[in-house]
A and B are shown apart, each in its own frame.
Chain A
Amino acid sequence: MGVPFPRSYPEDTMPFDRTTIATRLTNAGYVPDADLAMALYLMDLLQRPLLLEGEAGVGKTEVAKALAEVHAAPLIRLQCYEGLDASAALYEWNYQRQLLAIKTHERDGVSAEAIEEQIFSEDYLLERPLLAAIRSDTRAVLLIDEIDRADEEFEAFLLELLSDWQVSVPELGTIHATTIPRVILTSNGTRELSDALRRRCLYHYVDYPDEARETRILTARLPGIDQRLAAEIARLVAMVRKEDLRKVPGVAETLDWAAALVGLEVKHLADDPESVHDTLICLLKTQEDQAAMSREVLDRLIGKVA
C-alpha cells in the first residue's frame, strides 16, 4: 500500500526493556536470542502467557528458571502429566486432618456449625501450584511444564484460570488473584494443543541454538571453560546435529559433554580424539546413534573443526 512504514516514534523513546531482559537473562545464565527477548518483553507488556515449543533439550524450562531469577520472583512449577486434575493442580482439602478434627470435636460436643467453620478454613486448605501462584505476595513466575502431556479437559480448565485470574472453591468462595503471575507454558508437541489455548498465548519456537549462541551458552554456564574449546565444541555439536540421528543432542547434552571434556582437561578437540570419542556418551543417547558416530566419522568432523 502507499503508506510508507511509519517512522513517527523517535529512536530514544524506544523501551529499553528487551535489551535489559536479554542482558539480565544472560547474567542469570540463559543466553536468549532476539526473538525470545521480544516475546518475554511482550509477555509483560500485554499480560499474556507465553507458550514455548521446541524439541526436548533446547532449554524451554530453563527460560522460566532464568526469568524467575531476573525478576527475583518465586518460581512455581506445575509439571503436567496424563490424568492431572484440578485437585492436584489447584487445591485440595487436607482430608486426613479434617477427619481427625471431626473425631476430636465429636467428643468435646462442639456444634456442627463450629466444626464446619473450622475444617473448611484456610488452615485445612492445601495449596497446589496454580493457587499458590495467584496467591503469591510477589509476582511469581508460573511454569506450566509439558502442557501437552495433560488432558484436553485440563487445558480448558487452565484456559479459564488464565483469563479470569480467579478460582472458586465451593466451601470458601471465590479467591481472586493477589498478583498476576508471569506464565510460561512449555510443550514438546506430543499432542496438538487446542486452538483456544494457542490463541490466548504468545508463541515462541525455541530452536537449537546456532554456533555463536551455543558458544556463549557454554561460557555462561561453565565459567572455567576455555573460549576456544567452547567454540570448537559448539561447532562440532552443530555438525553432529546435522547428521542423521535418532535423538538429536540438546543444549543440556552439550553442557554435559563440555563439562566432561573440561573435567578431563582436554584443551583442543584435535589434541585428544580418544577422550572426545569416549565422552560421546554424554551427547548420543541411543545405541544406533553411537554406532553411526563411529571413530572415523568423528575424526572427520574433528578435522573440520580444528
Chain B
Amino acid sequence: MAKTAPAPPPEAAGAAHRAQMMRFLAQLRANRFAIGLSEAQDALKLAAAGLAARPSRLRPALRALACSRRDDFARFDALFDAHWLGRGVRAATRVSGAPDRAPAGIEKMRGQPSGPSAGGMPDHVERRREQAGEDDETGAADARRGGASRAQVLETTDLRHIADPQAIAEVNALAGRLAGALRQRLTRRERLRRRGRRIDLRTTIRRSIAHGGEPFDLAFRKRRDKPLRIVALLDVSASMSPYSAFFLRFLHGLLDHAREADAFLFHTGLVHVSPALKERDPQRALDRLSLIARGFAGGTRIGESLAAFNRQHAARVVHGRTAVIIVSDGYDTGPAEDLGRELASLRKRTRHIAWLNPMAGWQGYEPAAAGMRAALPHLDLFAAAHNLESLAKLEPYLARL
C-alpha cells in the first residue's frame, strides 16, 4: 500500500510509454503468455506506481504478472530484453497457426516443412537483419547438421507413412477412443462403491425431510479413488522411426483424454513434450514437437535418458498410482547396467512400469538386446505394441492397477 501517491507522469511521456507497454503486452500475447484485459490494466497500474522507471524494477514486476510457470521465465526475459533494451533480437514472430488461421496446418505442413522464414516457429525470435548474416548462417547450419536424423523422423518418415489428412484423423480417433476407454474403465470402478465409512450429515439431513425430520435414511461418504496417472516415455530414435509417428498420435490422444498424463520423448536426451502435445490440433502438435526435438544426434541412450528422467522429473510426476509406460525397442548404445540401475530406482517410486516393444509383435522375437535383458527384471509388464490392437491389450492391465 503506497503511503503517498506517485506524481502523475507528464502527459506526453505517459502516452508514449503506455503505447510502448501495450506493444510489449501484445508481443507477450503473440508468444502465448496469458495476457488479458485485466492483466493489461494491472500492467499499466504498476507502471503508474513508478515501477517502470527502470528495467531492473519493471522486469521482476511484469514477470510476476505475466509468467505463470517457471519455464516461462527464460522466454519472458528474452522478449523483455528485445523490447525494452533492444538487445540482439527484435521482434517475436507469431506462433504457428495462430487462432486466426488455425486449420491451415496440415496443408502447410505437407507442402513445405517449415523453412527458416516460415514464421511458424513457436517461441521463435527473429534475429535482426543487419546482424543476422553470419549468426544466422551458422545457427541454421548447426540446426541442420545436429538435427538431421531427428528431423527425418518427425518430418519425412512420419508424414510419408501417414500422409493424407483422413488417415491422420483415423489414427487419432482410434487413439482417442482407447485413451477414453482407459479412463472410463477407471472411473466406473469408483462409482460402484456404495457403502462408506463415514456418514454424510449434509445429505442425511436433506433426506430426513422425507421422513419428517427423522434421520432414517443414512447417506455415506467414502474417499474417492485417485485417478491413475500415466507417464509415457517414447523412444524416437532412428530404429523406432517406423513407429514413432503412430505412438506420438497415441500419446496425443492419451494426453487429451486422460485426467493426469505426462509424456516424454527420448533419443540421446530427454524432452518433456506434454505442453506441445496438449495442443488440440495434432498436426500443430507435431509441428511444435519437431522444433523441440531438433538438435538431437542419432543413436539411443535409454539408460542416460531414464537417469535424466529420474533426476529431473520423477519426483514431480511419479507417485504410487502412476503407471510408467516406456515405448522402445530396447536397442541401447549406452551400457546396459545403467538402464537396469535407473529402472530399479524408478521402480522405488512406482511398481507399475510397462514396457511396450514394437518388435515383440514380430514372429519369433526374443528379447535379445542387452538393454532389453537388463530391463526385464524390473518390469511389471512387457508387451508387444506394433498396432492399435496390441495397445488395446493394455486396457485390462491399466484397469487392474
Contacts and interface: CB of A to CB of B under 8 A. Distances in A.
Interface stretch (B68-76, B98-106, B178-186): B68-76
Interface residues of A, number: 51
A191 to B, nearest CB: 7
Contact of A45 (B46, B60, B73): B46
B205 A1 contact: no
A31 B4 CA distance: 26
Given A45-B2, A95-B202, A190-B319, A10 B7 contact: yes
Contact of B50 (A14, A46, A51, A203): A14
A165 interface: no
B20 interface: yes
Nearest to B86: A1
Residue among B39, B42, B64 with most chain A CB within 10 A: B64
A195 B34 contact: yes
B60 to A, nearest CB: 4
Nearest to B7: A13
Nearest to B67: A203
B65 interface: yes
Nearest to A106: B213
A35 interface: yes
Interface in A167-219: 188-192, 195, 198-199, 201-205
A244 B68 contact: no
Indicate the size class of the contact surface on chain B: 35 or more
Nearest to A96: B201
Nearest to B229: A191
A1 B23 CA distance: 10
A273 to B, nearest CB: 28
A5 B55 contact: yes
Contacts of B87: none
Interface in A53-101: 53, 82-83, 87, 92-93, 95-96, 98-99
A42 B202 contact: no
Contacts of A50: 64
Contact of B68 (A6, A87, A195): A195
Nearest to A11: B53
Main secondary structure, interface of A, reads mixed
A53 B60 contact: no
A259 interface: no
Contacts of B288: none
B40 interface: no
A223 to B, nearest CB: 30
Nearest to B54: A5
Given A93-B202, A99-B215, A198 B68 contact: yes
B10 A38 contact: no
A15 B2 contact: yes
Contacts of B6: 9, 13-15
Nearest to B58: A5
B360 interface: no
A34 B9 contact: no
A51 B70 CA distance: 11
Contacts of A102: 213
B189 interface: no
B69 A45 contact: no
A35 B57 CA distance: 9
A8 B68 contact: no
A270 interface: no
B68 A203 contact: yes
B52 A6 contact: yes
Interface in B1-23: 1-4, 6-7, 9-10, 13-14, 16-17, 20, 23
A44 interface: yes
B28 to A, nearest CB: 12
Given A8-B10, A15-B6, A46-B65, A1 B83 contact: yes
Interface string B21-46: 00100000000001010010010011
Given A35-B60, A199-B68, A190 B316 contact: yes
A149 to B, nearest CB: 11
Interface in A1-24: 1, 3, 5-11, 13-15, 17
A136 to B, nearest CB: 17
A3 B34 contact: no
B45 A45 contact: yes
Contact of A42 (B3, B65, B83): B65
Contacts of B53: 6-7, 9, 11, 14
B223 interface: yes
Given A53-B69, A95-B205, A6 B16 contact: yes
Given A8-B17, A11-B53, 10 more contacts: A1-B86, A9-B9, A13-B7, A42-B61, A53-B69, A87-B202, A190-B316, A199-B39, A201-B68, A203-B63
12 contacts: A5-B54, A5-B55, A7-B53, A13-B6, A13-B50, A14-B53, A34-B60, A42-B46, A42-B64, A48-B42, A53-B70, A203-B69
Interface of B: 1-4, 6-7, 9-10, 13-14, 16-17, 20, 23, 34, 36, 39, 42, 45-46, 49-50, 52-55, 57, 60-61, 63-65, 67-70, 73, 83-86, 201-202, 204-205, 213, 215, 223-224, 226, 259-260, 274, 311, 316, 319, 345
10 pairs of A and B residues whose beta carbons are closest in the complex? A198-B68, A95-B201, A8-B13, A9-B53, A6-B17, A8-B9, A38-B60, A199-B34, A39-B64, A202-B64
